[in-house]
Amino acid sequence: MRNCSIAVQRYLPHEHAEPFWQHFTVPFDESTSILDALNYIKEELDPSLSFRWSCRMAICGSCGVMVNGIPKLGCKDFLRNYLPRNYLASESTAAVSAAEIRIQPLAHFTVERDLIVDMNEFLVHLEAVKPYLITDAGADETPLEKHAQTLAQTNKQTPAQLAKYKQFANCINCGLCYSACPQFGLNPEFVGPAAIALAQRYNLDSRDQGKAARMPVLNGHNGVWSCTFVGFCSDVCPKHVDPAAAVNQGKVESAKSMLIQMFTGRG
């Protein structure tokens, strides 16, 4: 194995008022992920390091961090991506040592400790778009009751109906798109790319009848029209959900909704 240099931004609010950088030397090979490196640091070098992780398979979405300034899933990103080519075969250690990898908490979120951020800010936006199937029969029920009712129903879908929303249903709620979104960084009230993709996922579902209930959020000041369409959210998405496409589709639906309201008085 070879060694590489990793700098981790630490934040220990009870000990230091400001974040600081801590430098580590970590052994690695072709298969060493960013998450593997963090676990090595915690287990072998500094047990006080704090970060989130769970599945190690890009499913839970909990190990998101900034790697050299880009939002990444720690379990899906590898040290080899940031080091010189042929580093394993090279005789020289100078190039590998010089290529320090910098790991920070996700941008645009409140940092609680080290690489752990407050995800409640993200979850509030997801909840706002009513991320569950809504039927006319369950209009006056709670979200949990609506969900239970939907599960009890035997609604079938064709492959074509599933294909309309399947991509947007692949979101793992990792929050990387919010760290990549400059608008969310400027305005935390912006509902954000993942929430808009989630709203579109249900709006396109043939079993759902709750589009009208979601449109006020999408039409609002902090809805789809706040997006300046940088598109970086889709670039960093580890599951290729393409939230930027959902935002564009949401703008089309929002325009339709506002026109309907203008001419008929109903959305």
Task: Please give the domain boundaries of the chain with CATH numbers for all domains.
Answer: 2-116 (3.10.20.30), 119-264 (1.10.1060.10)
Least confident interval from 113-127, 151-165, 191-205? 151-165
Q: What mean pLDDT is predicted for residues 37-63? A: 97
* Strand 101-104 to 64-67 pairing: antiparallel
Residue 164: C-alpha distances to residues 147, 200, 223 (Å): 21, 10, 22
Least confident interval from 108-112, 165-169, 259-263? 259-263
Give the sign of the dihedral formed by CA 194, CA 213, CA 152, CA 158. negative
Summarize pLDDT for 14-30 with one digit per residue, the tens. 999 999 999 999 999 99
The answer, yes or no, to whether residue 91 has pLDDT greater than 70, is no
Q: What mean pLDDT is predicted for residues 138-145? A: 56
The answer, yes or no, to whether residue 148 has pLDDT greater than 60, is no
> What's residue 174's pLDDT?
98
Confidence of residue 198 (pLDDT cuts 50, 70, 90): very high
Specify whether the CB–CB gap between 183 and 190 falls below 8 A.
Answer: yes
DSSP 76: T
The crossing angle, in degrees rounded to 10, of helices 243-264 and 193-203 is: 60
In angstroms, the CA 181 to CA 228 distance is 9
